[in-house]
Amino acid sequence: MSSPIQPGAAPEEKLEFVSSCKLPMPWATFELHAFYDEVSGKEHLALTLGDVGNGEPVLGRVHSECLTGDGLFSQRCDCGAQLEAALKKIAKEGRGVLFYLRQEGRGIGLLNKIRAYHLQDQGADTVEANERLGFPADMRRYTIVLPMLAHLRITSLRLMTNNPRKVKALEDNGIPVAERIPLIANHNPFNIGYLGTKARKLGHLLPGVGKVAEPAGKLPPDAHDNE
């Protein structure tokens, strides 16, 4: 059932479609599509609902893996809450796509993310921690989405994100974004510093967050920035 995807718009990407299956979830039964990334050796997923290949812009999210937030319910970030909120929005609309990319910690990997946690425990913010480890603020590849879009016959996205830079990064890599849709979720006392860093240093549009003072003794922000 596996088949290589013709490069087309992303010649530098070597992506193989593996298989698809039904995935019942609390909000709807999605179609789960599995892909193998020959560049990184990792697996990436796409969850679709309804007819996404009819030529109309598709409600979608490009979500980077966050084990602590998505799987361990961490309150130090908003990743898990955004994942759930995006799937709920797609289910409510009855049509959409969520790309789940294996790019933990903005591309630095899980172990380095834990190292970044340690630096944050000592007072660094999410950007400073990555930089002290010798990494750029963001190492993610968005071109990996192009062959996935082609396989699913999706021509443009109504992208759920709070990050205008993400919209620009996708568009710069040839991924059409018809509309940006805010995705505000899980603002809590434990992640206010993390969200403030996203607003101040990474340009995220988070109403009421960017100017909030970081309280003394706060829990350090998460090393992962899903947006």
Active site residues per annotation: 138, 140
Q: What distances in angstroms separate CA 59 from CA 19, 53, 56, 152, 162, one per listed residue?
A: 23, 12, 10, 14, 14
Q: To which H or E segment does residue 114 belong? A: helix 110-121
Give me the residue label for tokens 């018809």: 178
Euclidean distance between CA atoms 1 and 106, whole angstroms: 31
CA nearest to 143, candidates 112, 116, 183, 174 = 174
Cα–Cα dist 150/165, whole Å: 23
Closest CA to 204 of 101, 57, 78, 69: 78
Q: Report the side by side order of strands in the sheet with 29-37.
A: 3-4, 15-24, 29-37, 43-49, 96-101, 58-64, 157-160, 177-181
Would you state the structure tokens that stand for residue 145, as one six-digit string?
């989405």
Give the amino acid at 199.
Answer: A
